[in-house]
Structure 1
Amino acid sequence: MRVLVIGSGAREHALLLALAQDPGVTALACAPGNAGTAAVAEQRGVDARSPKAVTALARDWGADLVVVGPEIPLVAGVADAVRAAGFPVFGPGADAARIEGSKAFAKDVMAAAGVATAASVIVDNPARLDAALAEFTPPYVVKDDGLAAGKGVVVSPDLEVARAHAMHLLDDGHPVLLEAFLDGPEASLFCLVDGRTVVPLLPAQDFKRVGDDDTGPNTGGMGAYAPLPWAGDDLVDELVARVVQPVADEMAERGVPFSGLLYAGLALTSAGPAVIEFNCRFGDPETQVVLALLRTPLAGLLNAVATGTLAEQPPLEWSDGAAVTVVVAAEGYPGTPRLGDVITGAEGEGVLHAGTRRREDGAVVSAGGRVLSVVGTGADLAEAREEAYRRLGGVRLAGSHHRTDIGLKAQQGEVTIPAR
């Protein structure tokens, strides 16, 4: 099987590494890729947001399966165009991708499916903002209704901070979603979905705030670990039954069946699980830890989703133990990152590339805000953390920063689900 992966981040690097382990894969290509993906796959240039360009590349390269990684191409209809050209595609069409592209659409689907989520109000006019904010109590949750790479969210006890962020979004022409705050630890659950067939992967937890102890602004994600040592054995079954299956069924009922990876971001509250957000693709950085533990050949799974045969697949197999990933970010991130700095140690074991490129002189340099994602595995969370940070110690990037506490509270037994 010749597999073409669309994207350029650490998620795509993780996907390629997993695909390369599948004996059914005969060739791999990544477009546009980065300095790290070049070591495992043929690199091809493409405008990943262009349905026409990606379709032409799939045809030119002779792909047997196209895997669309990022949300922007999916929302833009890239999967629709490639699928219409006769290629099996892992990734939802544009209509189904609205589950991430429009928070208002996602809320409507959840309401119809009876899935718990935070109470919310959409504001599209500054004149209505103050009255809408008055309906909520601190901490205030303010989100961009569209795609914002994880950085369109502000959670603050300060009304003025919340109001300023909302006004900034409205001034840019973006509708604002105001939400009630959800208590309890957060979890990410990836599910392979083929219409009404739902197959869950391991649950993970990611870290959105830029600083240790969850301080500072939100980012696209500064690290993650899997599985969740504090979660009961029945948690995944409960989340599928109460959240993912009803949403998949509702989308099928609406004539927009989901095909691909449906990502539920959840708060495990005292009243039960509640959805924070849905994504229409593998999440980053959780993909790096989930796939590090997957033993079932990945290409066969993704192809089964793309061809509508997921229900025929045997149960997934997983490695014992745990995985941790720590993101190395460029100076200035999550604001404007400094680019072009030389990275050393970027080719070490467990080092996945996100915002990197290779200069003509052969040096690997930073080319984005989240630059690298360093993965460690071990018999338990403590060993996986130790291995991830040991590997990170071999990486050098001037001005870079990373969190030192990824998975630490879980390792110390300090994460619990509130009693119901």
Structure 2
Amino acid sequence: MARRGFTTRQVHERAASASPSARATPIYLTAGFEFDEYDDAAAHFGEGRGYAYTRVANPTIDAVEHTLAALEGGSQALLLASGQAATAVVLLALVETGGHIVSSTHVYEGTRGLFRDNLARLGIETTFVDDIDDADAWEAAIRPETRAVFAESISNAANRLIDIGAVAEVAHRHGIPLVIDNTFATPYLVRPLEHGADVVVHSASKFLAGHGSVLGGAIVDNGRFDAERSGALFPHLVAPGRLGEPSIAERVGGDARIAYARESVALRFGTTPSPLNAFLIGQGIETLSLRVARQSANALAVAQWLDDRPEIASVDYVGLPSHPDHALGAALLPDGFGSVFTFTVRGGAEAARRLIESVDVFTHMTHLGDVRSLILHPASTSHVALTGAERRAVGVEPGTIRISVGIEDAPDLIDDLARALAVAAEPVDEVDVAVVA
């Protein structure tokens, strides 16, 4: 063979392919994959066999999906580019124009915005349930056009819980799936599918990845879609394909929901994560239980300390007996109560400002689930688009502060807050004098 030109060689010269057995998950950082034979391409596009393009499937992403499904006790998982993508994809896989969602009032503000603004523009309505511990309130919210019930296992920001089994029973009486955002709890603390939920979503950017370095999201399905009972509610899952091929339910059975999410929604909306991000999420998952156990223990210690401080008006942590959902939490969360919660300082927004500006160990940023402890003022950041009444309804007052407790030594976290509380409690003129001096 004639010697090829320099540019050709710099593109094509490489060692022959080999298959070493790496202990860590290999990173397949590639847009596409070569086909060995002509017929392999047809087999992939016709039957889904093998790999062709990372937006469709990638071995690194597949490996992390397998682990997530196993940890949540699900049939399949779907890894996506962000937690917001996970929520959007699963709901677009279930609900169409004219449909309806029933949601807990106590949800992440990005989710609320998705429901109120984006899905509403597509003709999908949402009813929010305020009295989330009342099964009758959930029942009353369901309509003939309802196609999904949505809640968080541990809510943002008031640490509210729902009785997953009771709400699942309500949803299932109508043939509707219960979708649980399990970001705050993680599968280490609770596995909603074991309590009757049908689908779980995660912001994998948080505890699953754990180090604040990447974005990612995930959907896990229990694989129990019942075409006979619920097919009329979800015709896109039971109707034959455009060219007369078998329906998704006929092809994959109980995995119809997640198959549609993977093949029709995520694929076409382009919510694919980077294989590098998938690798880092997978690395984080390997220490999930160690981190979450430590973070939960730290959070309980910090919450108990705050609860005894005269500068604090209230502490919304489900691990405290004073929390309205403590009894449910003790039953639902036997391995820990999580590490994200809010507390409200006396003195309102100004006291909250001074406290946040005075911490040193806590990092002031909009994130959670990190190995580092984080702090944020919801009323001026994540919940700023709500009215005062709407903020109060979800437990956010002018002096409310959210913390995500990390893996640091608990005494250091308490010392940091004690010092910051002392500054926040000083009269304003004394603080100004100290700053000038």
Normalised TM-score (structure 1):
0.28
Normalised TM-score (structure 2):
0.27
Which of the pair is proportionally richer in helix?
2
Which of the pair is proportionally richer in strand?
1
Max Rg structure? 2
